[in-house]
């Protein structure tokens, strides 16, 4: 499909992939696609950063190539490596004769995500998701900055590979540390916040349509209430959806303090947070939620 030609069209196309985007996120997505600029999405875990890259790829019918970042990620694992084992075998197979002359050809090249994203693809340039960038270190960031500016890679033995069309780059960060200014400046930036009640309800209805309206409202209102508490790790949208699915599996139709106690592991993942919610706290929050929903 062609790139959507308006903000509304972006919002509708994302909705077609069961991705609920507000006006601001739809706008920055539209601009990133139209101007061909990388999109930098920052926000807490589980707010839909990774998912939107998948939704964009699906709505455009493009391939999604994901570079999952981690501590110690280096250029070799991000761009390409030579398949040493296969090269060794080829040399051994030559059995004393002259070594094969294609040792540094395509045949022994292992393409990692950044190089893969520069190859021509059927259907157009792929979506390149550089996920959880905050997990890498500064040297890798500097390297990425360059890669994102010219989308070409030089392999000494083979020459320079240039993307026929720059990939649609989406970078995400959970902000466990600040990503460098220089990299951010190259991108369009958007902070993905926790959704407000109505939007989160819409997301839940899109992702767990089997849940009743009444239960969905309780679940969303309770999770929203939890986010206002002083927790070590607040539940994301992913947790809201997971929790609703757990409740459905248990045939729960109405939240109670007991049900919450039994299923709390779906929304809180730290023992300190769980302990905080035990006892009267869950009941107090639930009472507040039910009163608000009834109002």
The nearer residue to ligand ADP, 115 or 273, going by C-beta atoms, is: 273
What residues does 214 pair with on adjacent strands?
Answer: none
Task: Based on the shown chain and the rule CB under 5 A, indicate whether residue 50 belongs to the binding site for Mg ion.
Answer: yes
Q: Residue 237 binds which one of Mg ion, ligand ADP, none, with CB within 5 to 8 A depending on kind?
A: ligand ADP
- CA of 262: how far to CAs of 3, 13, 243, 268, in Å? 46, 38, 11, 12
User: Whole-angstrom Cα distance, residue 234 to residue 268?
Assistant: 7
Report the residue from 90, 206, 248, 274 that binds ligand ADP according to the rule CB under 6 A: 206
**What phi and psi values does residue 136 have, to the nearest 5 degrees?**
-90, -175
**x/- track of binding to ligand ADP for residues 158-197 (CB under 6 A):** --------------x-------------------------
Q: Is 261 helix (H, G, I), strand (E, B) or coil?
A: helix
Q: Could you tell me which stretch among 44-52, 56-64, 138-146, 263-271 binds ligand ADP (CB under 6 A)?
A: 44-52
Report the residue from 11, 26, 29, 50 that binds ligand ADP according to the rule CB under 6 A: 50
User: Whole-angstrom Cα distance, residue 192 to residue 254?
Assistant: 30
What residues does 111 pair with on adjacent strands?
Answer: 80
Near ligand ADP in 227-246, by CB under 6 A: 237-238, 241
Residues 6+ apart with CB under 8 A from 40: 171, 172, 173, 179, 183, 184, 187, 188, 189, 190
Task: Based on the shown chain and the rule CB under 5 A, indicate whether residue 240 belongs to the binding site for Mg ion.
Answer: no
Task: Based on the shown chain and the rule CB under 6 A, indicate whether residue 129 belongs to the binding site for ligand ADP.
Answer: no
Contact between 255 and 218 under an 8 Å Cβ cutoff? The reply is yes
**x/- track of binding to ligand ADP for residues 3-22 (CB under 6 A):** ---------------xxxx-
Q: Residue 40 binds which one of ligand ADP, Mg ion, none, with CB within 5 to 8 A depending on kind?
A: none
User: Whole-angstrom Cα distance, residue 126 to residue 138?
Assistant: 26
CB 236, min distance to ligand ADP, A: 6
Task: Based on the shown chain and the rule CB under 6 A, indicate whether residue 46 belongs to the binding site for ligand ADP.
Answer: yes
Task: Based on the shown chain and the rule CB under 6 A, indicate whether residue 203 belongs to the binding site for ligand ADP.
Answer: yes
């Amino acid at each position: 499909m062609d790139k959507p030609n308006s903000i509304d069209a972006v919002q509708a196309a994302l909705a077609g992939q069961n991705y609920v985007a507000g006006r601001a996120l739809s706008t920055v997505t539209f601009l990133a696609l139209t101007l061909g600029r990388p999109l930098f999405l920052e926000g807490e875990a589980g707010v839909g950063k990774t998912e939107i890259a998948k939704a964009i790829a699906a709505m455009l019918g493009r391939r999604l190539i994901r570079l999952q970042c981690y501590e110690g990620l280096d250029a070799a694992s991000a761009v390409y490596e030579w398949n040493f084992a296969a090269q060794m075998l080829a040399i051994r197979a030559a059995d004393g004769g002259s070594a094969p002359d294609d040792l540094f050809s395509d045949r022994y090249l292992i393409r990692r995500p950044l190089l893969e994203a520069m190859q021509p693809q059927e259907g157009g340039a792929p979506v390149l998701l550089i996920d959880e960038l905050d997990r890498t270190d500064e040297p890798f960031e500097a390297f990425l900055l360059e890669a994102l500016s010219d989308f070409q890679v030089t392999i000494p033995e083979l020459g320079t590979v240039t993307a026929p069309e720059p990939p649609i780059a989406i970078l995400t960060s959970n902000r466990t540390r600040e990503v460098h200014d220089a990299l951010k400046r190259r991108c369009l930036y958007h902070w993905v916040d926790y959704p407000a009640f109505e939007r989160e309800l819409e997301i839940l209805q899109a992702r767990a349509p089997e849940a009743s309206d009444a239960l969905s409202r309780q679940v969303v209102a309770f999770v929203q209430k939890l986010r206002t508490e002083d927790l070590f790790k607040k539940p994301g949208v992913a947790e809201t959806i997971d929790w609703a699915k757990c409740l459905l599996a248990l045939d729960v139709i109405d939240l109670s303090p007991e049900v919450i106690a039994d299923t709390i592991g779906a929304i809180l993942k730290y023992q300190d947070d769980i302990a905080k919610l035990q006892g009267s706290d869950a009941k107090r929050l639930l009472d507040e939620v039910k009163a608000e929903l009834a109002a």
